[in-house]
Structure formats: structure tokens, C-alpha cells
Amino acid sequence: MEVVPSRSYRLDVRPYPINPEDVKRTLAYLRERHELYYLV
């Protein structure tokens, strides 16, 4: 058998601040261009 090296880095979740204006723009974009994915 051969040994296959695994990833040497850890995957972790890093929180970052979300700008409410960015959320508003994203939802408006989805509403206009991707009705199938817009489920709010």
C-alpha cells in the first residue's frame, strides 16, 4: 500500500462582519436576475 499525504492545513470558520447594505444589494440582484434562487 502507498501512503497518501493528507492536507497539512486545518479548515476553520472565521467570522467576519457583514454589511447590511451588501445583503440588501445581493437580495436585489437575486430578485432581478435569479428568480428561481430568490426565496425570501
Q: d(Cα 13, Cα 11) in Å, to the nearest integer?
A: 7
Question: In this structure, what DSSP letter does residue 8 have?
Answer: S
Where do runs of H (alpha helix) occur along the chain?
Answer: 20-33
Q: Exposed, middle or buried, 12 (CB in 10 Å: 0-12/13-18/19+)?
A: exposed
For the stretch 5-36, pLDDT in tens is: 666 666 677 778 889 999 999 888 888 888 77
Which comes out higher in pLDDT, residue 4 or 19? 19
